[in-house]
């Protein structure tokens, strides 16, 4: 089960952050976990030799594990799942990121969205809610 999806701008500012459920303590814990994952994203970006957008597994702790994806414009996507989730394969994670990237591109085509501002799109919220339910 996926717990959280975050989209981070190229300057490190959060563009979108959504958690499954409404537990505020869990949301704060996941936000901290995403911040730790971003450190690993930066390391992987500096080390990668191939221009692969999918960064793979980033970090895990006793509850969660995270996966990363970066766009050509250095927008970072982080997906946080349950540490014990064995149903999501690497191909499933890649497919989720591909769908998320497509949804992000659709948001960018919105004439009322200013690139770099936080995403407040109902379309994106509904889309991510569906991804988190799977």
Residue 103 has pLDDT above 90, yes or no: yes
Residue 19's φ and ψ, nearest 5 degrees, are -115, 145
62 token code pair: 């006793």
Percent of the chain with pLDDT over 90: 40
What is the pLDDT averaged over residues 33-58?
84
- Number of residues written out for the chain: 134
- Res 45: pLDDT: 81
Residue 70 has pLDDT above 80, yes or no: yes
In sequence order, what DSSP letters do the residues of 58-79 get, joined into one string? EEE-SSEEEEEEE-TT--EEEE
Residue 15 has pLDDT above 90, yes or no: yes
In eight-state DSSP terms, residue 12 is S
Residue 98 has pLDDT above 90, yes or no: yes
Q: How confident is the model at residue 16 (pLDDT cuts 50, 70, 90)?
A: very high
Reported pTM: 0.90
What is the pLDDT averaged over residues 92-106?
93
Fold of 2-133: Beta-Lactamase (3.30.450)
Cα angle 104-107-100, degrees, rounded to a multiple of 5: 20
């Amino acid at each position: 089960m996926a717990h959280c999806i975050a989209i981070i701008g190229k300057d490190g500012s959060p563009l979108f952050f959504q958690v499954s459920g409404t537990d505020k303590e869990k949301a704060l814990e996941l936000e901290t976990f995403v911040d730790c994952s971003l450190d690993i994203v930066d390391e992987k970006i500096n080390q990668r030799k191939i221009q692969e957008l999918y960064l793979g597994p980033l970090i895990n702790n006793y509850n969660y594990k995270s996966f990363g994806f970066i766009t050509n414009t250095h927008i970072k996507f982080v997906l946080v799942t349950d540490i014990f989730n064995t149903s999501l394969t690497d191909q499933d994670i890649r497919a989720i990121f591909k769908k998320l990237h497509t949804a992000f591109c659709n948001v960018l085509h919105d004439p009322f969205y200013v690139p770099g501002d936080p995403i407040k799109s109902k379309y994106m919220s509904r889309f991510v809610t569906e991804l988190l339910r799977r």
